[in-house]
Structure 1
Amino acid sequence: MSEVPGLDTVATAHATPDTPQPYAELGMAKDEYERVREILGRRPTAAELAIYSVMWSEHCSYKSSKVHLRQFGEKAPESDALLVGMGENAGVVDVGEGNAVTFKIESHNHPSYVEPHQGAATGVGGIVRDILTMGARPVAVMDALRFGPADADDTKRVLPGVVSGISFYGNCLGLPNIGGEIGFGPGYIGNPLVNALCVGVMKHEDIKLAQAPGPGNKVVLFGSTTGPDGIGGASVLASATFDDESHAKRPSVQVGDPFMEKLLIECSLELYAEDMVVGIQDLGAAGVSCATTELAAGGTGGMRIQLDRVPLRDHRLTPEEILMSESQERMMAIVEPAKMDAFLAVCDKWGILATEIGEVTDVTPEEAERGGRLVMTWHGETVVDMPPRTASDEGPVYERPYARPDSQDALQSDDAAALPRPKDDTELREQLLRVLGAPGVGDPTWVTGQYDSYVRGDTVVSTPHDSGMIRIADDSDRGVALATDGNGRFTRLDPYTGTRLAYAEAYRNVAATGARPLAVTNCLNFGSPEDPGVMWQFAEATCGLADACKQLGTPVTGGNVSFYNQTGDVAINPTPVIGVLGVIDDVNARLRSGFDADGAHVFLLGETRPEFGGSAWADVVHEHLGGLPPEVDLAAEAALGEVLATAAERGLATAAHDLSDGGLGVALSESALRGGQGIRVEVSEDVFTELFSESAARAIVSVRPGQAEAFTALAAEHGVPLRRIGTVGGDALVVEHPGGAVEVGLDDLRSSYEAALPALMDGV
């Protein structure tokens, strides 16, 4: 028995096989608990139960989504650019000139509802450490946000806290926030979505992996001390249905310290530069449990840890609490013994606490066959003796039942095309201004103005333009562009098509800045996987994204699944957020979305069809959701993207803007406002469809005077339909049609576009 009073050791577990254990309270099903007993040949200790409960949680193990996520690998397109794919902390792609970029998006949804500021702040901190762990310098962040109706009391509580958390953490780190998106809808009122993306830059040879090779190498924990904040936080919060009753039982949300993280970044980069690290893992969800099991599983399979050597903020913490703590700003490194002194000296230079807590061990062939051997002690007593791969790689995999909901047919048959249309030009004008000023369509500056978008000096394009763009090195003009997009209305109407539309929009947004799309990350936000209707949505969405990426040659490099985004039995609209990264050879050729060149020709590229299902017009004017989303033609998206990128390279265009939420009317209004110039266009007799249709694979382009013929030839070369619809100039948006004209002065456009969020958040 244990010599430490009350300690649950391996010896105790052998001696007391029938001791009741709180596996259900930790989120484990009975059959999962029984499987742990089978793996160990005994009941788990309290510390082992803590490890398995967090590592087998939905958030960490992807147990309900793995069977569908596999197709991202099975259908992956051939890509010479992909250096590190799925399975690591983030994907890595080659961007030329010996440089590589790593990027990833993840969710921090439930923590951001419980404590908006800290939930969002630590979401940023966690994704930044994922990028740092790959060996890269983090250089920019983005965010994709969804809230309940903008005028709801809950939104007024959550939104300001989320925005302050993102701005506080990112601004303190000195990372520019270069873009993203914000949306509103009734389904998110108790389930906000806070998806954070980070991108980092490195040389090819700088790539680091989560592995623990070399028996005798030391395991070093460095960064902040470990406290009770966030014990089981992200892993538990994101792994069960979220309702009022369970909310009271949630553990505290993690607390972030961006100043410590900034030091941790610089310290880690110096350690990498001096070749002092052979394996590295950040401590995010599941904390020490995740770092030790994943590093051990990625190396020899053996590791011995002295938990009592973990530096604590609260010395009352038990071994299982230490293992489950998700205290922020911590990293775990594998270091050769001969380099330990130098490693500790670098940490001391940066004021970073570093502690050797164990070492890598060899394993016997029998132990290797069982999944390795991870041993943890507490003041000399063994509290963990388990195969690490069974926690990190061999967790439960569920083939959840899924079925198309009976309500889907009725939803799709409720065609938005049958909704009352504006009767005359006066109503057209009024509805255009309503859509333009709606939260989620209108000016996001109330949010984005709280972020620093140009710190570091490498930002080339930022919000509110179609995608963010940064220069990747001081001695190069090469850059990368990033965009995130998702439309829960489209995906609710048709998950397969809606997800492809989200991908297509992000692809198009990247191309609209002059970059060529290269790779994809994703954050898949859905309701409970235990609901067959939700799992049908998820299965359709993942299939749609995998098929789209295969067709256009952009591999999925990694991402995140966020389930249980629902209150009781009411789920959010399925909201896959797709991030696309592209490369541009010369950032000086980039395009912005403001039409500021007086006299420039305005071209509309792509085909416009009467497609209004899930549109901003149907949502804003009629509060309607029904019908089918727009059709997807990925070959047309690829052709459009090539025209936009080539037009930028050849200097044919002065600006470009994709058509998405709100259609042509909103796109023209935004380009006019951002460029400070009026635009006069002529459209067909069906002016309503021209203004409000959300057909995909479309963009407007401002073409330099004298270049219209060359631009027309370029579009013809790639088979992209186009019309020259007008010119830039004046002080109003004028849309002429055979029956009349719709005219709105720039001041009126600006008043509608900029008013909504400031008015709603006034005094908050």
Structure 2
Amino acid sequence: MSLADSDHKLVVSELGREPTPAEAALFENLWSEHCAYRSSRPLLSAFDSEGDQVVIGPGDDAAVVALPGNEDEDGSSTYITMGIESHNHPSYVDPFDGAATGVGGIVRDTLSMGAYPIALADSLYFGEFDAEHSKYLFEGVVEGISHYGNCIGVPTVAGSVDFHPDYEGNPLVNVACVGLTDEERLVTAVAQEPGNKLVLVGNGTGRDGLGGASFASEDLAEDAETEDRPAVQVGDPYAEKLLIEANEQLVEEQLIESARDLGAAGLGGASSELVAKGGLGAHIELERVHQREPNMNALEILLAESQERMCYEVEPDNVDRVREIAERFDLGCSVIGEVTDGNYVCTFEGSETQRASDDSSGDGTEPRERETVVDVDAYFLGEGAPMNDLESEPVDQPETDLPAVDLEAAFETIVSSPNTASKRWVYRQYDHEVGVRTSVGPGDDAAIIAVREAEQGLAISSGAAPNWTSVAPYVGAKAIALENATNIAAKGATPLAAVDCLNGGNPEKPDVYGGFKGAVDGLADMCSTLSTPVVGGNVSLYNDSVAGPIPPTPTLAMVGTKDGYDAPPLSVESEGTLLLVGDVGLEAGDVRLGGSEYLAQFDGSDAFPELPADPAAVVETLADVANDESTLAVHDISHGGLAVSLAEMITEDAGLEVSIPVPDAADETAAAAALFHEQPGRVVIQTDSPDAVADAFDGVAPVVELGAATDDGELTIDVGSATITTDAATIDAHRSTIEDGLE
């Protein structure tokens, strides 16, 4: 860890002296890209974060959103919390612990708002599936997420998995958490009153995770897997489960004035941010921190990112009760200092062993003088980092170069691609039923969690699309937002709010920063169009390695609400008319193939498709149609295009006969466009009332009748001069790519 020269000069100017070693390390971590968003904060004003439903927006550990229309007699509402974070670099160095502690961190962000965690969503990105190192990372990350989530009893219900060659040297692990709270339970990270005590509850502090924030703010080096391992935290999910339940008791008894979980920059980050938000200071005696390793020095205690720890502001009269609750749950508890109206001050008196080594008499009996290791303005520490002014270059759309491929062979290849194949190998390792709230689980367009307190279903969708944003960062990011909203509407829910995890490469490279900026603007513009506020998020830059930068990857986790908990299924019934809502692409060049799995598999290129003219109307109408009693099944069209959606909808008991007319039957390019283009905002609907669906979407989106369901479990697609025929068992075999490839 080292403070950059320009930052060092600024700190010296502010302090009027040289910083102590602990201060320099604290500034270096809190002014890192990971904590201060020095390259991204100038871009984040593009997001619309306000709305009647928004209780707490960006800036706290998690956002707080009111569920609509559920006020009780005294006017109070049921709230949900939303948060998302990345653990990208740690998951490359140590995939199991890196991913596991990512789960633990976002859950503690939820706890610090006075909420109980009810659902997780994970969005994961790896190099090409055939590469052994990618498989190693993939298996370790999934194992880490499943182990931690299952042990703490929070269901992982949604997410995504993408494979792309540009993640080979730098995978991404993005985890979102939804919590449940209300007005009476709500806690924030804003310190309240001088004289209140700062209490540390949870695991003992060790030396793991030192400099984690700095490590996350640099490109991954070639030797990162060995040299950077000490920067990766080690998780203990059983301690986290105890911390969840202890936090619940503290909230119920209203013993907490403010709270912050210990994540990036450890105790120094959490405690300084807590008091800075209240315009206050603190005095912390570092040796009071309960430790699990001997002879830790002040800097280690201050910056270690040991997991399963919370910092609470507690009124003096409530400290004993907090300690009793911590002891009941077998958690450590230390009163480490108090809130003040002055600077952020940390002092340290060494251990007996350290005193003995420092004592010239050698008998260890002389007390060591208390040392002031940090004495700075808390606001300057947290907000004083200067923003970067970086150059950006726009990303050009590629030229059109469409391959000529036999459609039947293409269908088999696309359906069995790791990106479109079933992700059941992943989500079957997660306990998505724990908590008995899961109405629709993973494997569908969106999950639905029952919020019985408000008698509403909460739909959750999370993911990005690196093929889309690598081709067209701005339009591809708009498409990602629309895709998540379409997933939610397909289950009959209306989008409510979203959080984002903005992942990019080294921002000092103009082309990389240009792609990142385009993705930010695209996500912001579409969310605004959909009237869906982006209420919080995370930024992860310097995802760059010897293999090169990652694609701009704007993961979006979106939630929506609906009355009740039921939703139309993804799979078709054996009778009913099948309709396509959205553009078919009946003529060559009518719809672009850019960003599609088809071009990724067959080395083609094209511009990204145009988006629907009125995406908000599409989403609103789709939610209404999905809830109609005549609707039998709904499935969004995304990765792999119409072909993959149709393949996913059939079962052993219900098949489909589909006909897609192409004006020129011999034009295989037009047929390929119809089958495989990935314009978002499109769905397949099975209905008993096709005329009613057409009327609903009149003036909003085209509706094309594709065919009808059968009871033989077969899929037949007539498109141009080609006929593709298969059955559910064959498709299932094709879609088992991931489990087969890991055997």
Looking at structure 2, the residues matched to 28 and 682 of structure 1 have their Cα atoms a distance apart, in angstroms, of 64
SS in 2 for 1:244: coil
Q: Which amino acid aligns with 1:221?
A: L
**Deviation readout 1:547-595 (Å, 9 max, x if unpaired):** 222222111111111111111371111111111111112112x122111
Q: Which amino acid aligns with 1:105?
A: I
SS in 1 for 2:614: helix
> Measured at CA, do residues 478 and 375 of structure 1 come closer, stay the same or move farther in structure 2, by a change above 3 Å?
same
- Alignment of 1:623 with 2:603, yes or no, is yes
Residue 249 of structure 1 deviates from its aligned partner by 3.6
Residue 464 of structure 1 deviates from its aligned partner by 0.7
Q: 1:505 aligns with which of 471, 483, 499?
A: 483
- Alignment of 1:600 with 2:581, yes or no, is no
Residue 156 of structure 1 deviates from its aligned partner by 2.2
Alignment of 1:429-468 (within 5 A): 429-468=408-447
Residue 740 of structure 1 deviates from its aligned partner by 5.2
Q: What percentage of residue pairs aligned between the two structures are identical? A: 37
- Alignment of 1:89 with 2:66, yes or no, is no
Alignment of 1:13-92 (within 5 A): 26-72=1-47, 76=48, 79-92=51-64
Residue 738 of structure 1 deviates from its aligned partner by 5.6
- Alignment of 1:221 with 2:196, yes or no, is no
Greater Cα shift, 637-646 or 187-196: 637-646
- Is the CA contact 1:50–1:323 (under 8 Å) kept in the aligned structure 2? no
The equivalent residue for 2:256 is 277
Q: Which amino acid aligns with 1:592?
A: P
- Is the CA contact 1:154–1:190 (under 8 Å) kept in the aligned structure 2? no
**Deviation readout 1:509-546 (Å, 9 max, x if unpaired):** 11111110111111111110111111111221111122
TM-score, normalised by the number of residues in structure 2: 0.92
> Measured at CA, do residues 77 and 132 of structure 1 come closer, stay the same or move farther in structure 2, by a change above 3 Å?
closer
- Is the CA contact 1:479–1:585 (under 8 Å) kept in the aligned structure 2? yes
Looking at structure 2, the residues matched to 690 and 419 of structure 1 have their Cα atoms a distance apart, in angstroms, of 14
Looking at structure 2, the residues matched to 459 and 113 of structure 1 have their Cα atoms a distance apart, in angstroms, of 31
Q: Which amino acid aligns with 1:644?
A: L
The equivalent residue for 2:294 is 315
- Alignment of 1:376 with 2:347, yes or no, is yes
SS in 1 for 2:19: coil
SS in 1 for 2:558: strand
SS in 2 for 1:211: coil
Looking at structure 1, the residues matched to 686 and 522 of structure 2 have their Cα atoms a distance apart, in angstroms, of 32
> Measured at CA, do residues 315 and 495 of structure 1 come closer, stay the same or move farther in structure 2, by a change above 3 Å?
same
- Alignment of 1:108 with 2:80, yes or no, is no
Q: 2:656 aligns with which of 679, 687, 698?
A: 679
- Alignment of 1:420 with 2:403, yes or no, is yes
Looking at structure 2, the residues matched to 330 and 554 of structure 1 have their Cα atoms a distance apart, in angstroms, of 33
> Measured at CA, do residues 111 and 77 of structure 1 come closer, stay the same or move farther in structure 2, by a change above 3 Å?
closer
SS in 2 for 1:758: helix
- Alignment of 1:391 with 2:367, yes or no, is no
Alignment of 1:77-476 (within 5 A): 79-96=51-68, 97=70, 98-233=77-212, 235-245=213-223, 248-250=226-228, 251-363=230-342, 372-378=343-349, 380-404=370-394, 408-409=395-396, 412-415=397-400, 418-422=401-405, 427-473=406-452, 475-476=453-454
Q: 1:638 aligns with which of 616, 624, 649?
A: 616
Q: Which amino acid aligns with 2:345?
A: L
> Measured at CA, do residues 78 and 259 of structure 1 come closer, stay the same or move farther in structure 2, by a change above 3 Å?
closer
- Is the CA contact 1:493–1:629 (under 8 Å) kept in the aligned structure 2? yes
The equivalent residue for 1:21 is none
Q: 1:576 aligns with which of 545, 549, 554?
A: 554
Q: 2:723 aligns with which of 741, 749, 763?
A: 741
**Deviation readout 1:468-519 (Å, 9 max, x if unpaired):** 110113x553011111121112212221111111111111111111110111
Residue 246 of structure 1 deviates from its aligned partner by 5.4
The equivalent residue for 1:493 is 471
Looking at structure 1, the residues matched to 347 and 703 of structure 2 have their Cα atoms a distance apart, in angstroms, of 66
Looking at structure 1, the residues matched to 470 and 660 of structure 2 have their Cα atoms a distance apart, in angstroms, of 31
Greater Cα shift, 250-259 or 263-272: 250-259
The runs of 5 or more residues in structure 2 that have no matched partner are 71-76, 351-369, 586-590, 663-669
- Is the CA contact 2:127–2:167 (under 8 Å) kept in the aligned structure 1? yes
Q: Which amino acid aligns with 2:393?
A: A
Q: Which amino acid aligns with 1:601?
A: T
- Alignment of 1:688 with 2:688, yes or no, is no
Looking at structure 2, the residues matched to 77 and 456 of structure 1 have their Cα atoms a distance apart, in angstroms, of 30
Greater Cα shift, 734-743 or 221-230: 734-743
Looking at structure 2, the residues matched to 523 and 576 of structure 1 have their Cα atoms a distance apart, in angstroms, of 6
> Measured at CA, do residues 289 and 676 of structure 1 come closer, stay the same or move farther in structure 2, by a change above 3 Å?
farther
SS in 2 for 1:455: coil
Looking at structure 1, the residues matched to 49 and 17 of structure 2 have their Cα atoms a distance apart, in angstroms, of 45
Q: Which amino acid aligns with 2:207?
A: P
Residue 124 of structure 1 deviates from its aligned partner by 0.5
Q: Which amino acid aligns with 2:391?
A: P
Looking at structure 2, the residues matched to 564 and 464 of structure 1 have their Cα atoms a distance apart, in angstroms, of 32
Residue 362 of structure 1 deviates from its aligned partner by 2.1
The equivalent residue for 1:652 is 630
Greater Cα shift, 84-93 or 729-738: 729-738
- Is the CA contact 2:3–2:24 (under 8 Å) kept in the aligned structure 1? no
Looking at structure 2, the residues matched to 92 and 104 of structure 1 have their Cα atoms a distance apart, in angstroms, of 9
- Is the CA contact 1:27–1:240 (under 8 Å) kept in the aligned structure 2? no
Residue 361 of structure 1 deviates from its aligned partner by 1.2
Looking at structure 1, the residues matched to 224 and 740 of structure 2 have their Cα atoms a distance apart, in angstroms, of 34
Residue 421 of structure 1 deviates from its aligned partner by 2.6
Q: Which amino acid aligns with 1:689?
A: A
The equivalent residue for 2:356 is none
The runs of 5 or more residues in structure 1 that have no matched partner are 1-25, 364-371
Q: Which amino acid aligns with 2:596?
A: S
SS in 1 for 2:64: strand
Greater Cα shift, 579-588 or 560-569: 560-569
> Measured at CA, do residues 680 and 538 of structure 1 come closer, stay the same or move farther in structure 2, by a change above 3 Å?
same
SS in 2 for 1:490: helix
> Measured at CA, do residues 708 and 48 of structure 1 come closer, stay the same or move farther in structure 2, by a change above 3 Å?
same
SS in 2 for 1:403: coil
> Measured at CA, do residues 71 and 419 of structure 1 come closer, stay the same or move farther in structure 2, by a change above 3 Å?
closer
Aligned residues: 703
Q: Which amino acid aligns with 1:681?
A: V
Looking at structure 1, the residues matched to 516 and 347 of structure 2 have their Cα atoms a distance apart, in angstroms, of 38
Looking at structure 2, the residues matched to 270 and 577 of structure 1 have their Cα atoms a distance apart, in angstroms, of 33
- Alignment of 1:526 with 2:504, yes or no, is yes
TM-score, normalised by the number of residues in structure 1: 0.90
Looking at structure 1, the residues matched to 304 and 719 of structure 2 have their Cα atoms a distance apart, in angstroms, of 63
Residue 448 of structure 1 deviates from its aligned partner by 1.4
Residue 720 of structure 1 deviates from its aligned partner by 2.5
- Is the CA contact 1:213–1:300 (under 8 Å) kept in the aligned structure 2? no
Looking at structure 2, the residues matched to 528 and 449 of structure 1 have their Cα atoms a distance apart, in angstroms, of 35
